[in-house]
Amino acid sequence: MRPENYQAVNHPPSHEFELNFGPNHPGIEGNFALKVKLQGDIVVEARTDAGYLHRGFEKLMEDRLWIQNIALVPRICVPDPVPMEVCYSLAVEDLANIEVPERAQWIRVLQLELSRIAAHLFFFGGHAATTGMYTPMYWGVADRDLLLDLFEELTGGRIYSIYNLPGGVRQDVPEGFLQRVSDTLDYIDGRLKDYDNLFFTNQIFVKRARGVGTINQQQALDWSVTGPNLRACGLEFDVRRDDPYLIYPQLDFDIPTEQAGDALARTLVRRLEMVESIRIIRQVIKALPDIKGPLRTPIPNPLAWRVPAGESYARVESSKGEVAYYVVSNGGEKPYRVHIRGPSAMHAVQVLEKLAVGSRLEDIAQTIFSLDACPPEVDR
Amino acid sequence: MSIAHSQNLNVLLQEIEGIQLTFHNPRRLRADIAAEALPALLALLRGRASYVHLSAISCVDWIDDNQFELVYHLWSYETSVLISAHIRVPRDPGIYLSVFDIYTPAAFFERDIHEMFGLYFEGSPDMSKFILTEWNGPPPMRKDFDSEKWVMETFSWQQYHPDWLQELEQQGGGIVSTPESIRAGNRPMENKS
Amino acid sequence: MKKSDLDKVKIKQIPAQKRTNPFANVFDEFVGFCRSRSMFMLHYCTGCGAIELPPAMTSRFDMERLGIQPMVSPRQADILLITGYVSIKTLKRVILTYEQMAAPKYVIGICSCTVNGGMYWQSYATAKKLDEYFPVDLYIAGCMPRPEAVIEGLQQLMQKIKANEANSWKQYYKNYDYFLGNQQHLFGNNWQTPTDVIGEAETYQLAGPNTLGEHTKILQSVQTPLKPLEMKL
Amino acid sequence: MNETFLTITEVIMMPIVAFIIGLFMVLMMRKLAARIQRRIGPGVFQPLYDIVKLYGKQTQISHGLIHDIGIIMAVGGYVAAVTLLPVPGMNGIADKGGIITLTYLLMVPSLGLALGVGQCANPNGSIGISRALTSMLAYDIPFIIVIFGVATHFSSTSLVSIIAAQQVGGFGTWGISEMPLLALAGLFALHASLGKHPFEIYVAPAEIATGPMVEMGGKFLGGLFVMQSFQLYAASVLYVSLFLGGGENWVTFLLKCFAVLIIPFAIAYLFPRYRTEDLVRLMWKWPVMLALLGIAFVMN
């Protein structure tokens, strides 16, 4: 006789029942949980449950040197780590009044935009997989790998580069690197047509994604929605343009928007953003060889570097939305306080809870993925 | 544009008593204000000055002053200025008002601050634990909580001198140089056995 | 029991036994070969390492050619991939997941954090040594290991399975008291899981002298019949 | 006496043959998916390894008696069905059972699965199985109409005589050239009955964590894998028997069987899944319309 390994669940004597999405579920992005109460097929209540990825980053950063924290910050958003590094560096540079050399700024932009394309390729693969379509995921992740190869060549790391330091970047672009970036971009540009045919204009996908998880403009503003999710509601806001950092004002790029605010619109905005990112990188490739100069403003002995007392709030546009770092220094060797504002904290908790209610069981996973939330940003 | 607009804003902000404004740079405005006046300031900024986007609420634990500093980062899409409203509340008893009725996203940040710092917000919709549901200790982000000490008391560590290595060392093998010996300038390793 | 006493408990390796009947032997070899060539993995996305699994699974590195497939539910899976640091909150779920898997089951710890806490060694929120809470067959170190390293590690596990050496799951039954003690140390004495590990160990004759002990006594004293998991909404 | 012995041999042999061919069909499906997804895909014996490994699990987690019986029903339904499907050289009990019995038997596995999954009391499984039964309801309507039309056309419900009638005059007398509309409707029903995208509503990993399979491990999942290979075999052989003239010899028979499956497999990996109501709407609209039109042509 086998032990009964399972105790039957006593469902409440109503037609309502409860279902857990996560923390380990293909319908949820990463280690994150959504508990829903269903009435038939309709969600009547939804609660998120985070903290599975909590590491106490903000506490850890208070215990480490300014320069050591560079190794910590990219871990906060795994699919798109570069904006985290850049944002932290920007905040520290602002505190310490360091001017970043122009060449380093251009290289940072190059890296940021490559990271954005990589994150979007990863994103729509996941979104496709929630609708049961695995081919775009297989293609997208494999194409993203080509970009990771570029990162590896530039920085030495596939995902976490630890490349942006306060004051500049660690090393120069290798010889012939820009040509390889250009080739890879040509390839990805060509592949976008395949993705269009396979996924973005796929009739069944369009039918399923249209009208799912709609946010209107007022709600988007009220809920602090940022990034592509905000632009999918028709609001044209981008930190790169409206609160500019690095050399973005010198670059020519559009901010794609969609009007509908549903899952389809959010996906399409990201699709269009990839084109814009490719455009930006092409400009960087063209301009970078002519920009000479140092790569780093030297900082004093990094192991005993005291950053002047003060506070700084730096913002960067990542592929998920507005990333912000609030860094407080009391003039010590370590940050006094670092507060990280991940865009997903809004999207994955408040927005998701509101969008899930009233949606169908079949659409929950799509809602989650189309918001492109990144759970470690919530948990930190 | 932002400078011109800030003139109007300045006029508007004079309605709040005891406010101190400092421009850190043209797009970062710091406002120091008494804790009681904050809800009025936020209502004014949101209602009459287009600051609709609550970017974040940060909490800083100034343990030497026995105070928590709360920083409300507000962004205006129209004027492209970020106002950081700073207030100080006493660490004891650690209670402040929620601004959930003015800014919906505040609910998340307030809940987060409550479990990380133990600062209670009256009127916030949900103050239950969110991230640290399995945590029974003190609010970890307070400066008086020593994370490293807690870890050392709670966890044990992987052995870096396992049995098989000890056997190897008895036969004369083992690790040639430890990290410490390299760091101190390639001194010959002391025999630990 | 104090923490320091727990560390004194040593886990002995069980030597692989062979059956005497030659036909049964051939059959065992065949099943072992099939086990090594068909590994359903449950990749619990506990941390950063999960980001290198999609590349390993998809078109570029294609795990399926080695017979490795992702699976959705713990019941279906053979390998539990712990991909990165394990926060205490996650660790509870990981243990539930591990106990629900059908034996033979294997655990791979990916990333340095599963070995010794990694760069989060001073964090109050993450568990440090994964093999204190359940047996781990293989660690793939790195921060994070590249897809090639992940596949290399899985191939090593394949060799171990083929050679009938990957028996760590038996350790969980044989030394349940030790593992339970560590779990109780972290989660408190009220800790219990829905799976009846002791019952399973007795049914499948996997119980050893260390299956029962003082920690299982605590468990049996606090164990209450399981109610449906309460969901706060 | 001799004839009885021969029949018994055939009845034993046919499921074994079906299982082996089914394994290769599963392999073809996975290989095709891999090619579309630009990768290499599994090795030749991968489906076999999976099944042996699953049956070789050392702890089996059962949720009770009905859980075991459900899986046996699911596999047994198909085992019984394949003995009713004539293959070259073996008729089994096809001339005794006929097409109506076969239609019944093809529904048994879904019902067995429903029983087994019901015992698990996992809400994901319950939702999955209710979706599976809904989709069965959706594709069975056109399927029954197609069966009815074919039976009317050949004035027989015996698959043996239907095949014999088609093999008289080569391609011209095949069901597909005589009843193209019914063949098309049948193809829809075939695709939906396989439960592949875009009709894969009941597995749906991202929504209900593989639905009926969620609590299945070890031999139970192994049973489902066996069931899948039987399912592919039964569906393709039934289609070949109804519309493609059955098997003259083993070579053409296997060619036809695999060719039939290539169509749904090639479509499956290029589309996401439908919503439940979209699937029912689609299946009750186009295939039913085509099938009814086909019947009108057959009847005149």
Q: How do residues D147-158 score in pLDDT, each as one tens digit?
A: 888 888 888 888
Quote the domain boundaries for residue B64.
2-157
Q: Domain check: are B122 and B192 in the same one? A: no
Q: Domain check: are B179 and B122 in the same one? A: no
Q: Domain check: are B83 and B174 in the same one? A: no
Range A2-5 contact pairs with CB under 8 angstroms and sequence separation of 24 or more: A2/C203, A2/D60, A2/D61, A2/D62, A3/C196, A3/C199, A3/C200, A3/C203, A4/C196, A4/D63, A4/D64, A5/C100, A5/C195, A5/C196, A5/C200, A5/D61, A5/D62, A5/D63
Q: Domain check: are B134 and B99 in the same one? A: yes
Q: How do residues D261-276 score in pLDDT, each as one tens digit?
A: 998 998 888 888 888 8
User: Which residue from C7, C92, C122 is facing B156, i.e. has the nearest CB?
Assistant: C7
Q: Domain check: are B86 and B107 in the same one? A: yes
Averaged pLDDT, A347-373: 86
A268 exposed, middle or buried (CB, 10 Å; 0-12, 13-18, 19+)?
buried
pTM assigned to the model: 0.86
Rg (CA), chain B: 26
A8 part of a folded domain = no
Q: Domain check: are C112 and C219 in the same one? A: no
- Token output for B125: 């919709």
C120 part of a folded domain = yes
CB environment A200-221: b (16+ within 10 A), e (fewer): bebebbeebbeebbbbeeebbb
pLDDT at A2 over 60: no
**Beta carbons of A10 and C146 less than 8 Å apart:** no
> In CATH, what number is assigned to the domain containing residue A332?
1.10.645.10
Q: Which of C165, C192, C211 is where one domain is finished?
A: C165
A333 part of a folded domain = yes
D206 in reach of chain C (CB within 8 A): no
Reported ipTM: the value is 0.84
- Higher-confidence residue: C223 or B105? B105
**Beta carbons of D207 and A8 less than 8 Å apart:** no
Quote the domain boundaries for residue A325.
16-379
**Beta carbons of A79 and C93 less than 8 Å apart:** no
A3 part of a folded domain = no
Give how many domains chain A has, as a whole number: 1
In DSSP notation, C157-212 reads: HHHHHHTT---HHHHHHHTHHHHHHHHHHHH-TT---SS-HHHHHHHTT---TTTS
Q: Domain check: are C93 and C205 in the same one? A: no
**Beta carbons of A326 and B140 less than 8 Å apart:** no
Quote the domain boundaries for residue C154.
32-165
Q: Domain check: are B146 and B167 in the same one? A: no
A11 part of a folded domain = no
Residues 6+ apart with CB under 8 A from A254: A276
Cβ D106 vs Cβ D147: under 8 Å: no
C6 part of a folded domain = no
Q: Which of C150, C165, C180 is where one domain is finished?
A: C165
pLDDT at A68: 84
| Cβ neighbours, 10 Å, residue B95 | 11
Q: Domain check: are B107 and B187 in the same one? A: no
Q: Domain check: are C100 and C58 in the same one? A: yes
Lowest pLDDT segment from A22-31, A74-83, B20-29, C7-16: C7-16
Residues 6+ apart with CB under 8 A from D59: C102, C103, C200, C204, D218
Give how many domains chain C has, as a whole number: 2
User: Which residue from C72, C85, C231 is facing A35, i.e. has the nearest CB?
Assistant: C231
> In CATH, what number is assigned to the domain containing residue B39?
3.30.460.80
Q: Domain check: are B149 and B186 in the same one? A: no
Helix (H, G, I), strand (E, B) or coil at D282: helix
Q: Domain check: are C139 and C58 in the same one? A: yes
Which chain A residues are within 8 Å of D276, Cβ to Cβ? 362
Distance from CA of D190 to the nearest CA of C (A): 26
Q: Domain check: are C184 and C160 in the same one? A: no
A87 part of a folded domain = yes
Q: Testing the interface with B: which of A93, A311, A325 to mutate, by most B Cβ within 10 A?
A: A311
Q: Domain check: are C102 and C207 in the same one? A: no
pLDDT at B191: 44
**Beta carbons of D207 and A202 less than 8 Å apart:** no
pLDDT at B189: 43
What is the CA angle B158-B161-B162, rounded to 5?
Answer: 80
C68 part of a folded domain = yes
Give how many domains chain B has, as a whole number: 2
Q: How do residues D37-71 score in pLDDT, each as one tens digit?
A: 888 888 889 899 989 988 888 887 777 777 888 88
C22 part of a folded domain = no
Q: Domain check: are C44 and C143 in the same one? A: yes
Q: Which of C126, C147, C165 is where one domain is finished?
A: C165
Q: How do residues B88-122 score in pLDDT, each as one tens digit?
A: 888 888 888 888 888 888 888 888 888 888 888 88
Distance from CA of C147 to the nearest CA of B (A): 25
> In CATH, what number is assigned to the domain containing residue C91?
3.40.50.12280
Q: Domain check: are C75 and C160 in the same one? A: yes
Q: Domain check: are B138 and B187 in the same one? A: no
Q: Domain check: are B134 and B167 in the same one? A: no
pLDDT at D7: 81
Q: How far apart are CA D220 and CA D71, in angstroms?
A: 7
Q: Domain check: are B141 and B78 in the same one? A: yes
Q: Domain check: are C67 and C97 in the same one? A: yes
D281 in reach of chain A (CB within 8 A): no
Q: Domain check: are B138 and B99 in the same one? A: yes
Length of chain D in residues, anyone? Answer: 300
Cα–Cα nearest to D286, from D152, D207, D184? D184
Cβ A300 vs Cβ A315: under 8 Å: no
A252 part of a folded domain = yes
pLDDT at C1: 38
CB pairs under 8 A between B and C: 43
